[in-house]
Structure 1
């Protein structure tokens, strides 16, 4: 928890205000009750409630790296890749599901068809989602092309430039509105956030991917995609309309095994491009057990915790009474202890905590998955008055892991399939 010094030499707790209140309460620096469309904190005192900003603008602001700055060329406005008709086919769903993760280049089944269908349905009428889907498809196309051509191909491809244009247009569409966030607006924001995570993954921009991940989870929690408890242990119902569950999507995406994660890295010309999750001789952990036995054991343990987390989140979604929520809090603590125990075990057999550059990159990916689970579990059903501070600490830890991954993978390219 963050603190600050006082003149008496003692420390005083610093509280982090929620970022989703109405504009009037935010200006007055008071806690908003977040009643829509006008909060009672304003109306009960005779003030005019000025409504709520776009959640995407509130949480993102200047924190997320602007994708438009990644290409120095001038940006032309191109039309989004629109669906051929209002009918979504099984092939459309399968194709988008495959774009969600780079793991699918090895024909791994991601299991996100339901999420793909939800995105495609929204893209039929939502401009921001249309642009986001177009961006992901184009950048995935560029990713697959880059695995088949020489590394020194001059200049960005047309699909890369088009993908960035569509990415920028999606961001602009989300941040342009100053109206109170409707259910449809929140849905658009969370679906786009989901796609942006996939876009940054396919470009190996893990630092920005981490920012999208944590900000999306913040939006889910602040606008109550699921029921939650307040500081008085009173149950607050979920948002009026069902919102996309970004956390479930993330768990599914991370849970799928990375088939190329333990292929040895080589920088020799005759062996071609290196693996996106390389393992060099210098990365072998100390001790009698080899990484081939350590990593799978730890992966299996983390996958079990992920499955337990999905079950817990489903129970939270079904909560209707405060007594039920309090009972679930007692189930949440063992889940958090399991995550702590897993990390302690990993740190005991892997040097990553003190020397991250000597750790298997596949293990670093597990650390990222683990940290995402910690944030998801911590934010679920939480009643603590310190939750904002605690989550910020965990978000910062995830960002450190993501930045390290991005730095280490910058010079690597994924190998072609056999």
Structure 2
């Protein structure tokens, strides 16, 4: 268990003999070399905001951009690409075989007539043709390879579990006309190459045929060089009237993804704020020009992207409670002024939502409807918290429950319209990606319902009502990770007898079968997936078996989904479980407060006996406010016949409920994903801000 931070203040320094205060010594520290060129020339500290820093904007100077980090500045060769790669054991593992994309004979002959062949640099003797990214884009050979990687692989990875024409089509088209977009695309391609090289088994073994230029550090340096070029090109484009708002918004999306990829969540939030601010100004111009709401300043595709980025940033703030200015606001402070552009019913990111249909016709239709519903809920709670007088973190007064009834009905209507799609995910012809997308979307709906209903509760005990919901989230996540592991194992190790990946298997806590996910590679997605719902289960579910399942699934593979990191969330959930289960005898079998410690495998858990009917865990311990909100939460209400069959026959609880005086919530998390460290503060749920909290616990974790 991580040690608690010592918050004792240092004693006051005594005055010297003459009675004067002692002279303050100049604080020593390492010199920063990562600021913009303008601040360096002025010899002032740069805030490093992108694409132009705050000092330059305030002084009216032109921010000339950021140079790439010098090679001499790195203290060691380790590339801390996030998420942290899982290094396989065994030094005899050969490097992975990266096959170039081969063209059909007719396409190959046609391309050969147009241009000389492009050979693979690392295999000059094979003379294998690569697909040329474009005949018109001004790429060097190295940049062209990163662009090719982005188009063939990275774009699909960034889309996550959902197909996105933004990454696979719109961004690539914009590369032909926007220099900043070209550099950003190459930077993301180089980052993916860095992650791939960092995850080799073993990552730095000196093979005779290894190209010295094909190393993680080389790709890492190229990624930051191209990122710097993208920022510089965007700064220059800001002064050019020919630069379209579409290009500026698209650049904000790409730069935010890069910052999230490398673990700089603060800079990612700044990029999202920049894009939302531009959208708000465009909407204000539209209103002043008396244009109809259908005359959008940018296409719907970009609006959808910023809706999802805003949902990411808001969910991040709700989970970790960032201070200003790292909070994304969806409502304007001028909303009370009827003359202000933001006083209408629309927000800077999306228009009002129509009625939810009886049945969704596709997964994408359901996704768009859920995004808009989430955005409306966030704006509602943001407005209510601004006017609430109780000052309790994350809790609205019970008197406002009536205003939220329509959202509860909308969430349930969405679930009913999605039911047939959820049941059809195992049908023949459904692709693995679509199956995973359906499961993830249902996980978010269940999580959204839990968190919205608990917005009006000041007791952590009320989360026990949703134990069947938590079980449903874990079952769906296990389905997604299990399918992903089977596909990865079949691709990477078609013959299990020659598998050289990690042989240490996690203990069995999934009910009678061995579970491991040692073939899934570290991944990054610009879209949300399984990490946020599993984080909610790990921190809010007090049934220890389900909680440990969520933590193990988070640790099953290193993944970064937007700004959400699986290892960080797993360690936060682990520490909360340690604190809450301390000195509490949880199991009749005598397991006490044992919890998987950071960096180790989860503990061996005995399987609970299966019992028919509802689990005693699903019974409410207390009343949940207004009777209109009170509804029996049974497993059948959570899901369809196909999805949560295991929850219907849920495991009988053999645990003693954690008392309320032992339960805590996250009050704040300050972390640095690039350094892989975090300071976590826990406390009470029902105390006003500024009130002394006897439950306060602080710790620092590193990994």
Say yes or no: TM over 0.5: no
Higher Cα radius of gyration: 2
TM-score (structure 1 length as normaliser): 0.42
Higher relative contact order (Cα pairs below 8 Å, separated by 6+ residues): 1
TM-score (structure 2 length as normaliser): 0.27
Higher helix share: 1
